[in-house]
Structure 1
C-alpha cells in the first residue's frame, strides 16, 4: 500500500470549461464535491496494478502546430509499470509515423487512458513526460481517476505478433479528405478515442491534455463528407472532453480497426451542439452532440499487434 495522504485536493479539480458545462447541466455543486473526492494527484494501488495488465494504452498529445492527436501504444502484458504512485513507465514507443513520437519531451502534457476491453474497466490519467529514452518514457501524474464502463463494447484480444518485433509495416498514408474506405470504417465503428486539450486556468489544478473513449452501437457516428456528427450521451458529468472543446475547439480522433489492425488517425476542429439544437434531437438518446471537421489525418496499416472481436460474435 502507498503511504500518500488520502485527503482531497484543496482546489476544484475541474477547469473553467468543465465547470461551465457542469453548470449548464445543473450539476456544478455536486461535481465540485465528487471531483475533490475521486480525482487524485496520484494513482491508487488498484490503478497501478490495472495498468500493468493491459495490452495497450491510449494517449493524447498536441503537436507543434497545436493539433491534438489520439494514439495507441501496444506491448506485451507488463509493458506498463508503476514504480511509485506518482509515476507510470511506458516501456514501448509510438509507431514511427505517429505524431506522438515527436511530442515526447520532458514536461510535455499527455493524456492517458487504460481500457480493458474484456472487463470494460477503464482508468484515466492526466500527466506530464518526466523521462524519455530509446525504448520508452515515463509519465508523472497530475490527475488520476476512474471511469464507469458505459458504452464500452466487450472484446477479447489475441496477439498476432510480438509487439516488440522490429520490421517494416505498410506505408502510412496522409490525407486531407476522407475517402470512401475511411467513411465506411467510421460509419461501422462502435468505438473510438478522442484527445482534447485546454489551457491552464489560474483557479484550477486541471490543465493539459485529455484522452477519452467514445462508444455506441455501430452507426452511432454520422458521416457527411469530411464532417462527423457525434452524439454525447449521459455520463459522469465530468465533461473533460467537452469542457476542453469549450476552451480549445480542436480534437484528435483515432479509430482502431480491431479486425485488420489498421488505425485511422484524424485531427480537426470542433463545434458543440447544445441540447436545444434540432440536430441533437435527431440523435437517439443524445444529451448534446459535437461536430468534427477534418483538417488532416493518417492511415497506418497493420498498426496493432493484436486482433479483437466483440464477445457478441463469439
Structure 2
C-alpha cells in the first residue's frame, strides 16, 4: 500500500494532475515521525472507517483521554479504546485478529485537531489488544489544513455515565431531523476501501449547506481542491461502497450512514456549485444515529477561510 493503486492513478489522470517522475508516492509513507507521534498523543479522539460483517462500510470515532493514542514504534499505533456496543464497527473491532489465524480488521484512520486545523491519515491492519487495538500501519499520510473549521473541546461535566443514556436508532433513510442535521453540517468524515478491502478515512468540510439532501436517501456534496492525491475518489473508482460519520459537536451524538457513492464529472452540473471541481453523490442504504456516543463537547466553529460559498 506504499504507493497509489490504479483507481487513484485513473482519477488523478482524469482530473488532469500528473505527478512528476520520481514522485509516484507523493507524501505517502508507512512510519509515524516523532512530531506526528507527539501530535497523536495530545488528541482525545480519532476517526476510523472499516467494513462490517455484512460488507457495509462505516465511519465512526473512538475517544479517550489524551494519551490513549500512542506510537510504541514507527510502524505501530496503539489505541486505548474500543467502540461501544451500539457502534456500527463494534463487531469488526471486538474480535479483530483474535484466535488462531484470525484476520485483522483493515481500517482507515484520521487524527484531527480542529483547534489547530492539523490532521493526519493512517491506514493499516487492526488487532484486538486487551481493551484496545494495535494497528500495524501500511500508510501514513500528511494532509493540508483546508476546510477544517476551528473548534475547541471540553469533556462532559454532568454526573452519570454516558453509557446509561446511550441509545441507537436504525433506519434505511434519513428522518426530517437528520436531514436538517446534514443541511446544517460543516464537517463530516467519509470512509472508503479499495477493491482489495484496504480502508481509508477522510475529512470533508465546508460552509453549512455544502452537503445537499436531494432526497431521504440521496446526498450530494462538492469535491473541492485539495492535496491532489484522490485517495477517496480513487477508492470509489474501484469500489462504490462508502460510509459517512457526522459528529454532533454540541450534543455528543453521532450520525452514521452507509451506502454507495459515485463521482460526478459533468462540467455543467459542477459549474453550478461554487468552488467545486467535481461532485460526489451518495446513496444511503442504512442509517444509525447514536445518542451520547461521545463524551466530548465542542465550541462553535470558526469557519475556514478556504470554504467556498454555498448555493443554498
TM-score clears 0.5: yes
Corresponding position of 2:256: 265
Residue in structure 2 matched with residue 60 of structure 1 by the alignment: 49
**CA distance in 2: counterparts of 1:78 and 1:192, whole angstroms:** 24
CA offset at residue 275 of structure 1? Answer: 4.6
Matched residues in 2 for 1:198 and 1:312: separation?
34
Q: Quick one: which of 14, 29, 46 aligns to 2:19? A: 29
Aligned to 2:164, the other structure's residue is in SS state coil
The alignment partner of 2:165 has SS state of coil
Deviation of 1:24 after TM superposition, in Å, equals 1.0
Equivalent in 53, 76, 79 of residue 65 of structure 2: 76
Judging changes above 3 Å, is the alpha-carbon distance between structure 1 residues 41 and 179 closer, same or farther for their aligned structure 2 residues?
same
Instruction: Give the conservation status (yes or no) of the 8 Å contact 1:124–1:144.
Output: yes
2:183 to 180, 187, 191: 187
**Is 1:113 the counterpart of 2:110 in the alignment?**
yes
Aligned partners of 2:282, 2:150: CA distance in 1, in Å? 26
Q: Which residue of 2 aligns with 1:4?
A: none
- Residues 113-192 of structure 1: pairs in structure 2 closer than 5 A: 113-129=110-126, 131-161=127-157, 167-192=163-188
Contact 1:57–1:112 (Cα < 8 Å) also in 2: yes
Q: Give the whole-Å Cα distance in 2 for the aligned partners of 1:23 and 1:312.
A: 35
RMSD of the alignment, in Å?
1.9
Q: CA deviation at 1:27?
A: 1.7
Segments of structure 1 that go 5 or more residues without pairing to the other structure are 1-10, 201-206
Shift in Å at residue 35 of structure 1?
5.0
Work out whether residues 187 and 220 of structure 1, in 8 Å CA contact, stay in contact via their aligned partners in 2. yes
Q: Supply the distance in 1 between the matched residues of 2:144 and 2:235 (Cα, whole angstroms).
A: 20
Residue 213 (structure 2) aligns with: 223
Q: In structure 1, how many angstroms separate the alpha carbons of the residues matched to 2:177 and 2:163?
A: 26
Separation in 2, partners of 1:37, 1:173: 41
- Tell me what 2:270 maps to: 280
Cα distance per residue 1:107-154 (max 9 Å; x no partner): 22110100001000000101101x314411110010101100000000
Could you list the per-position Cα deviations for residues 39-72 of structure 1 after superposition, in whole angstroms to 9, with x for gaps in the alignment? 1121111111111110100001011222110011
CA contact 1:73–1:92 (8 Å) conserved in 2: yes
Q: Which runs of no fewer than 5 residues in structure 2 stay unpaired?
A: 98-103, 304-312
Separation in structure 2 between the aligned mates of residue 230 and residue 33 of structure 1, nearest angstrom: 33
> Is the Cα–Cα contact under 8 Å of residues 195 and 209 in structure 1 kept in the other structure?
yes
36-45 vs 87-96, which moves further: 36-45
Residue of structure 2 in register with 1:252 after alignment: 243
2:301 is aligned with 1:305 = no
* Cα separation, 1, equivalents of 2:264 and 2:28: 27
1:233 aligns with 2:230: no
Report 1:2-41 matches (<5 A): 13-30=3-20, 33-36=22-25, 38-41=27-30
> Do 1:12 and 1:35's aligned partners in 2 also have CA atoms closer than 8 Å?
no
> Counterparts of 1:243 and 1:33 in 2: how far apart (Å)?
20
Helix, strand or coil at the partner of 1:155: coil
How many residues of Structure 1 are paired with residues of Structure 2 in the alignment?
293
Instruction: Tell me the SS of whatever aligns to 1:36.
Output: coil
Distance 1:281 1:166 in 2: 45
Which 10-residue stretch deviates more, 12-21 or 36-45?
A: 36-45
Q: Deviations over 1:239-290 (max 9, x none)?
A: 00000011001110011110111110000111210152x3222111100011
CA distance in 2 between counterparts of 1:271 and 1:25 reads 15
